[in-house]
Amino acid sequence: MQNDGIQIKVDDLSGPEVASLLSEHLRSLAEITPPESRHALNLDELRQPGVIFWSAWSGPDLVGCGALKELDPHHGEVKSMRTAKASLRKGVASKVLQQIISEAKRRGYRRLSLETGAMAPFEPARRLYSKFGFRPSGPFNGYIEDPNSSFMTLELL
């Protein structure tokens, strides 16, 4: 997908740039989220069947990423949304999220859900998801109520 100079492509997670961005993602979550409230996937978990991962590039620079995990034939989960620090507030996350939503619709999912942090550093993410129509929901697919988690769902019908 080409959009405003950003190319979004399905990624096999083999490149060092992607590994570095995902390591940064996990490190930053570890700094602000208690271990029992961290639900980010590592490289091996992102390589599992049922997960499709996209990387977003501006020329030679990795600017962001995101993934879609199939929970069942009608329900998907947004995973591993991350924008590189140098590309924050430039629309990268919106473009990646559009790609995830498009793929979920193409697959015929009825719902797309996500878990993100409930703390202040996650407010920009919650605003982004709300802008795309995600609404607060309860835990799904084995998650449990957690004061550090915010659950959101988008009905795709």
Instruction: List Cβ neighbours of 133 (8 Å cut-off, separation of 6 or more).
Output: 154
Measuring CA to CA, which residue among 48, 58, 78 is closest to residue 66? 78
Task: Output the pLDDT for position 35.
Answer: 87
Residue 87 tokens read as 């590309």
Amino acid at 39: H
Q: Which CATH class is domain 2-155?
A: alpha beta
Tens digits of per-residue pLDDT, 86-114?
999 999 999 999 999 999 999 999 999 99
Spell out the domain ranges in the chain. 2-155
Tens digits of per-residue pLDDT, 1-39?
444 689 999 999 999 999 999 999 999 988 999 989 999
